[in-house]
């Protein structure tokens, strides 16, 4: 089976093609970073217009890259939410048009499900697994038991982790998106230079929170001449996010061991923040020491892409009871 995937829910326009042998036949991405940079964040109107311009071109490029024709496609999958509504509408209307002209199935995919299933494309992971989904809009622990079978264990009560990276980067006058900019400066800083708070890291408080951490960084910035301590702020902030994750992973494992009848041995991290090498390494070391199998998608498939949407579409379609 060959599925075309389309992603346009935020600031990446992406088209990809995957097959049921877990091969990514094409993976086209146009990042709008340059268009949003001057505004310090994504402007929904600019994003939607850019998706309109780029999608038809990427669609053709994707077919060329995979040496396929329209008739080879078995279905058209697209992110149908959550996301910026203008971009989502562009993608959905484009996908519905292509599907109806080609008389192929249209498959609506939840963006988070795309992130959640990426490791089944790249690493053939079996269900169930425990997932930390950390992106720009979401930060939650999920027990992934099957296609369409997700149990939320905990979630952020305020900012998402990626959102905290973006906001801290903005306070430090760094480029958008904030995650990669902070990770770069953190390489030259001391991760233990500043002690930032770790909100909700206490017994019997299972949700996540990043707002207090962000405020602590703001207060430090307001009281200091930051030019000489930028690297240390980035390193300490990044380290604190990693420490919060470790604390919360421990709690999530406790909950799963208590409540899940099935043994869960695999832990997965996905979403844009999973592209952070420092965080990946800290989590990997922690989980391997605790006897867990740790899997993170390759870095280029952590941030938004259409291969994950095509793959989730393929899994959903294969699992469809009405076929």
Residue 179 interacting entry, from ligand KG4, Zn ion, none, C-beta within 5 to 8 Å by type = ligand KG4
CB-based contacts of 142-148 (< 8 A; 24+ apart in sequence):
142/116, 143/256, 143/260, 143/264, 144/116, 144/117, 144/268, 145/262, 147/117, 147/315, 147/316, 147/319, 148/113, 148/316, 148/319
Task: Tokens for 184, please give them.
Answer: 């770069």
Told to check if 273 binds ligand KG4 by CB under 6 A, we report yes
Minimal distance, residue 12 CB to Zn ion, in Å: 9
Minimal distance, residue 61 CB to ligand KG4, in Å: 21
Rank residues 183 and 315 by Cβ distance to ligand KG4 and give the closer one. Answer: 183
CA distance readout (Å), 31 to 54, 79, 118, 136, 177? 10, 16, 20, 15, 11
133 is in an annotated binding site: yes
Q: What CA–CA distance (Å, rounded) separates 116 from 266?
A: 13
Taking CB under 5 A as the criterion, the residue among 132, 304, 310, 311 binding Zn ion is: 304
Told to check if 159 binds ligand KG4 by CB under 6 A, we report no
287 is in an annotated binding site: no
Residue 149 buriedness (CB in 10 A; 0-12 / 13-18 / 19+): exposed
Taking CB under 6 A as the criterion, the residue among 4, 6, 10, 185 binding ligand KG4 is: 10
Rank residues 75 and 136 by Cβ distance to ligand KG4 and give the closer one. Answer: 136
Rank residues 36 and 120 by Cβ distance to ligand KG4 and give the closer one. Answer: 36
Pair type for strands 24-31 and 75-81: unpaired
Taking CB under 6 A as the criterion, the residue among 166, 232, 239, 315 binding ligand KG4 is: 166
Q: What CA–CA distance (Å, rounded) separates 128 from 292?
A: 13
Taking CB under 6 A as the criterion, the residue among 276, 313, 315, 317 binding ligand KG4 is: 276
Taking CB under 6 A as the criterion, the residue among 75, 178, 191, 313 binding ligand KG4 is: 178
Q: What CA–CA distance (Å, rounded) separates 227 from 181?
A: 15
Q: What CA–CA distance (Å, rounded) separates 318 from 323?
A: 8
- Residues 20-39 touching ligand KG4, rule: CB under 6 A, are none
Minimal distance, residue 111 CB to Zn ion, in Å: 6
Told to check if 179 binds ligand KG4 by CB under 6 A, we report yes
Task: Tokens for 21, please give them.
Answer: 């042998």
Minimal distance, residue 202 CB to Zn ion, in Å: 29
Query: What is the phi-psi region of residue 168: left when phi exceeds 0, alpha when psi lies from -120 to 50, beta otherwise?
Result: alpha
Rank residues 2 and 217 by Cβ distance to ligand KG4 and give the closer one. Answer: 217
Q: What CA–CA distance (Å, rounded) separates 286 from 288?
A: 6
Rank residues 75 and 179 by Cβ distance to ligand KG4 and give the closer one. Answer: 179
Taking CB under 6 A as the criterion, the residue among 304, 308, 315, 316 binding ligand KG4 is: 304
- Residues 110-149 touching Zn ion, rule: CB under 5 A, are 135
| DSSP at 229 | T
Pair type for strands 266-270 and 293-295: parallel
183 is in an annotated binding site: yes
Tell me the sheet residues that pair with 17. 4, 26
Binding residues for Fe cation, by number, are 111, 115, 304
Contact set with ligand KG4 (CB under 6 A): 10, 135-137, 162-163, 165-166, 177-180, 183, 271-273, 275-276, 303-304
């Amino acid at each position: 089976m060959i599925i075309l995937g389309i992603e346009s829910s935020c600031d990446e326009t992406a088209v990809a093609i995957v097959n049921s042998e877990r091969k990514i036949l094409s993976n086209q991405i146009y990042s709008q970073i340059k268009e949003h940079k001057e505004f310090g964040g994504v402007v929904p109107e600019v994003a939607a217009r850019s998706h309109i311009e780029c999608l038809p071109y990427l669609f053709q490029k994707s077919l060329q890259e995979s040496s396929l024709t329209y008739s080879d496609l078995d279905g058209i999958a697209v992110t149908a939410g959550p996301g910026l509504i203008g971009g989502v509408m562009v993608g959905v209307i484009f996908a519905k048009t292509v599907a109806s002209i080609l008389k192929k199935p249209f498959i609506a995919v939840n963006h988070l499900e795309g992130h959640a299933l990426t490791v089944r494309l790249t690493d053939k992971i079996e269900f169930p697994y425990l997932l930390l989904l950390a992106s720009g809009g979401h930060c939650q622990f999920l027990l992934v038991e099957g296609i369409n079978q997700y149990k939320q264990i905990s979630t952020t009560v305020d900012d998402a982790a990626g959102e905290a990276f973006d906001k801290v980067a903005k306070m430090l006058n760094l480029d958008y998106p904030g995650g990669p900019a902070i990770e770069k400066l953190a390489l030259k800083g001391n991760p233990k230079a500043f002690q930032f708070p770790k909100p909700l890291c206490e017994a019997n408080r299972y949700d996540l929170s990043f707002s207090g951490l962000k405020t602590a960084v703001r207060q430090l910035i307001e009281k200091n001449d930051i030019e000489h301590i930028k690297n240390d702020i980035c390193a300490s902030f990044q380290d604190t996010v990693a420490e919060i994750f470790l604390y919360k992973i421990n709690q999530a494992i406790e909950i799963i061991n208590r409540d899940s009848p099935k043994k869960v041995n695999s832990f997965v991290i996905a979403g844009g923040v999973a592209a952070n090498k420092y965080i990946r390494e800290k989590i990997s070391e922690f989980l391997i020491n605790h006897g867990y199998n740790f899997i993170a998608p390759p870095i280029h498939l952590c941030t938004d892409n259409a291969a994950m949407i095509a793959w989730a579409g393929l899994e959903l379609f294969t699992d469809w009871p009405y076929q």
